[in-house]
Copies of this chain bind each other. A is one copy, B any other.
Amino acid sequence: MARKSTEERRKEITEGLLEAMAEHGYAGASIKRIAARAGLTPGLIHYHFDTKQAILLALLKRLFVPQIQVLRSLADEANSAEQALESVLEALLSTGDSADPKAVAAWVTIGTEAIREPEINEAYSQALLEIEALFESIVERGVDSGEFDAGELSNRACAAALLAVVEGYFTVAATCREAIPQGTAAQAALRMAKGLLQR
């Protein structure tokens, strides 16, 4: 086995978990399977990660961090709150609707682990809260500019609703793709968002 740096190996291993998890779930993604997917020997996994959970946390980070950065850029570059909303939902849901199914399945699976593993919960909750905060900033911008009106709801409650829409499309896409008419997720979400925030 050619020697590589820990950073390279860690990337390969999280990728191995992604693939193993898509096929077998988290519990079924055994160290042996992760290793096989990554083309490594099982013993090496624990040289680079202390625990299996640590791999999951690394995968969560790898899925989330680039995504949230893209979303923030899109929001920043938009000329209006409405445009920001549109491009963020588009970015999230053309993924949720049609793009990398493995990543979506992994995201949903991580969410389920987060229900009862405190450390996973902390990281996953933080991710959800960052997405929510992004939505809230867009809502606030729209309210300030007069584009939006949250009615009786707080900006935060609106942001939570938008977060729920996105997470919900992920869940449905991962479990019952046929329930979502192809290509309608982003459009329907945007329509709901505008309805939620209309003057």
User: A180-199 interface mask toward B, CB cutoff 8 Å, 1 = contact, 0 = none?
Assistant: 11001101110111111110
> Per-residue CB proximity of A145-179 to B under 8 Å, as 1/0?
00000011110111011011111111110111011
Contact partner, A165, options B25, B164, B194, Cβ 8 Å: B164
Q: Which residues of B contact A193 (CB under 8 A)?
A: 192, 195
What copy number does this chain have within its complex? Answer: 4
Contacts A156-B181, A187-B152, A195-B196 hold; do A175 and B114 have CB atoms under 8 A apart? yes
A184 nearest in chain B by CB position: B157
Q: Is the CB of B23 within 8 A of A188?
A: no
Min Cβ gap A109→B in Å is 5
The reply on A94 being an interface residue by CB < 8 A is: no
Given contacts A105-B115, A178-B125, A194-B195, whether A167 and B172 have CB atoms under 8 Å apart is yes
